[in-house]
Amino acid sequence: MKGHVLITGATKGIGRACAMRFAQAGWSVTAVARTTEDLQQMQRVWAKNYPNSVLHTHAADLSDAKGVSSVPQGDYDVLLLNAAAFAPGQLLDEADLYTAMHQLNVLANHRLARRLLPGFVARQRGHLVVIGSTGTDHWKKYMTAYVATKYALRGLYLGWEAELAGSGVLTTLVAPGATLTASWENETPPPDILQPEEVAEVVFSAVTNQRTGRLLV
């Protein structure tokens, strides 16, 4: 099975690992990320390591509605909503973390779903994959804002799952535990932390085996 996957947050962490996993299988990849330099570096890696994968890149700040509206509509087989921000903090901290993270972790995904899913429904095929978090099952006080956004995203996903039932579009929510990404810079990760490649393998398996529902990693 080969196709075309659009991945948000594609230059780092889980998104990059997923892009590489699909590329290994010969899929075309449209990588969406904020930083042009990171996307250019990704292009160089693809030309060298993944000659059987066509890579399209698109720079956009998805926390902004204009950035979302710039994402190209296309004949995608998979839409992987991965982009997210994380920062530790609590309700009464000076910084309003929830408002900041809500823009990317919730609103961006809502807007992208509205922009891209009509094409999937019109073609009566495709797979929507959303990256959630097991944090919605195990709240930690320093993760209030992040987990609340992921909880909101989980709620959106459940609605999308119900609305898309019978449309021919498959839906999957992949919920990893703590994963070694850039958010762990200057921190000491736990010894049992997930590697991004482990999450990517679950995502790729879900697509190729048409697994739906919520998958814990």
pLDDT single digits (tens) 27-44: 999 999 999 999 999 999
Q: What is the mean pLDDT of residues 52-78?
A: 97
Query: What total number of domains does the chain contain?
Result: 1
The pLDDT score that the predictor gives to residue 193 is 80
- The position carrying tokens 């972790």 is 105
Are the CB atoms for 135 and 146 separated by under 8 Å?
A: yes
Whole-model pTM: value is: 0.94
CATH of the domain at 172: 3.40.50.720
pLDDT of 117 > 80? The answer is yes
Where in the sequence is the domain holding 65, given as residue range(s)?
Answer: 4-216
pLDDT of 194 > 80? The answer is yes
Number of Cβ atoms within 10 Å of the Cβ of 115: 16
The pLDDT score that the predictor gives to residue 185 is 64
Instruction: List CB contacts of 212: < 8 A, sequence separation 6 or more.
Output: 161, 170, 171, 172, 206
Q: What is the mean pLDDT of residues 144-151?
A: 93
The pLDDT score that the predictor gives to residue 180 is 63
Q: CA triplet 203, 205, 210: central angle to 5 degrees?
A: 100
